[in-house]
Amino acid sequence: MIHNHLTFVLLSVLPVVFVSSFPYRNNEFDLNDGLMPYNYRAKRLEISSFKNENRKAEKAKELSNKNMTYPAKGVDLGTDVVLYRLKAESGGTCILLKVDALVGFKYRTKLDEILESDSFVPNSATVTGDCSDEDRQNMVIKWKSFVLMIEFTKTPGGERWFVSKIEVKFDSGDHFFEHIKNPGRTYTLSTVGSHGSQLLFPTPVGKSYWCDREIEVELTSPDTETTATLFLRGMKLEPFIFKNDEFGPEYKCSATGAGTYRSETAPLVAGSLLASACLITVIGYAVYRYFNIEKVQYDTME
């Protein structure tokens, strides 16, 4: 009789032990995962969600971080757009830049892989520059280990201004560039090699260049394989400010293109070529007339 009771108890307990060994959540089976523990499935979902939100979180962190190496100089306008202001020695504003800017780097690693990494230009960046020259100015924006320099020049007649050069200087030893091929070096990427001698954003003096679409400017260097793309969103830009401390009338960018950089200097180039052709024609005609008249006079004297 006792043996029968023990057998009954063992048979009753074994199913309970077997069932309790299955993965559960809040005393319920996770039928979707089979034998996969629920906490493992939740972890996978958490990682996936982190990857989707990482870009937004990184931007929010850079825009709101108050413990940057450089003191705050930009003005956060309550959106992604930041206002950068450079003042001359006289105290008046000489350059204004309002933009949501991002620098996207593409570099080669020690394992010969190509990686991409982005850095937003924060509102806490340092703004310096030089406005001492009436025909040439520059604005320098520094954040973390990056330096962005924008150089402005006037046309020979002083009627228009344009961006003659954009540079981004970086230190490849920064932890931002994980496993980069040549760490510990300082490189300067520029528009000079990628855009040649083209004029960027030509605008009448006294007006501000405004573009409501995204502009992409490629930056390269013959000294490194690393390249960068400067993304400019909602940009409003004006150097050579002399009347007041605010933007002048807007000079809107071309509406053509799908957001990539497109040179807008064709009218200037065409006008210059036409003027040169007219000048050469006039000079050629004058030379022809001069020698023709001299020959006629010489023949008459004979």
Q: Which residue has the higher pLDDT, 257 or 137?
A: 137
Which residues lie below 8 Å from residue 281, measured CB to CB, with a gap of 6+?
none
Q: What is the DSSP letter of 109?
A: B
Which residues lie below 8 Å from residue 94, measured CB to CB, with a gap of 6+?
86, 87, 88, 129, 131, 137, 239, 240, 241, 242
Whole-angstrom distance, CA of residue 166 vs CA of residue 235 = 15
Percent of the chain with pLDDT over 70: 62
pLDDT confidence of residue 139: 98
The region that residue 156 occupies, defined by phi over 0 for left and psi between -120 and 50 for alpha, beta otherwise, is alpha
Measured CA to CA in angstroms, residue 10 lies from 19, 120, 228 at distances of 15, 66, 71
pLDDT confidence of residue 256: 56
Q: Summarize the confidence of residues 40-47 as an average pLDDT.
A: 35
- Model confidence at 100, pLDDT cuts 50, 70, 90, reads very high
| Nearest alpha-carbon partner for 176 in 122, 123, 104, 82 | 104
Whole-angstrom distance, CA of residue 185 vs CA of residue 5 = 81
Residue 125: pLDDT over 90: yes
Residue 219: pLDDT over 80: yes
pLDDT confidence of residue 282: 81
pLDDT confidence of residue 83: 96
pLDDT confidence of residue 68: 31
Structure tokens at 6: 């023990």
Question: Using one digit for the tens of pLDDT, what is the confidence trace for 197-217?
Answer: 568 999 999 999 999 999 999
**Domains by residue range for the chain, with CATH:** 2-48 (no CATH), 71-270 (2.40.160.110)
What DSSP string describes 27-91?
A: TEE-TTTTTS-HHHHHHHHHHHHHHHHHHHHHHHHHHH-S--SSPP-SEE-SSS-EEEEEE-TTS
SS3 129: strand
Question: Using one digit for the tens of pLDDT, what is the confidence trace for 126-179?
Answer: 999 999 999 999 999 999 999 999 999 999 999 999 999 999 999 998 889 998
- Model confidence at 30, pLDDT cuts 50, 70, 90, reads very low
pLDDT confidence of residue 79: 62
pTM equals: 0.62
Which residues lie below 8 Å from residue 107, measured CB to CB, with a gap of 6+?
114, 115, 117, 172, 177, 180, 181, 225, 226, 227
- Model confidence at 63, pLDDT cuts 50, 70, 90, reads very low
Structure tokens at 39: 């906490």
- Model confidence at 285, pLDDT cuts 50, 70, 90, reads confident
Residue 45: pLDDT over 50: no
pLDDT confidence of residue 267: 57
pLDDT confidence of residue 284: 78
> Residue 157 in contact with residue 115, Cβ under 8 Å?
no
Lowest mean pLDDT among 3-17, 73-87, 127-141: 3-17
Residue 62: pLDDT over 70: no
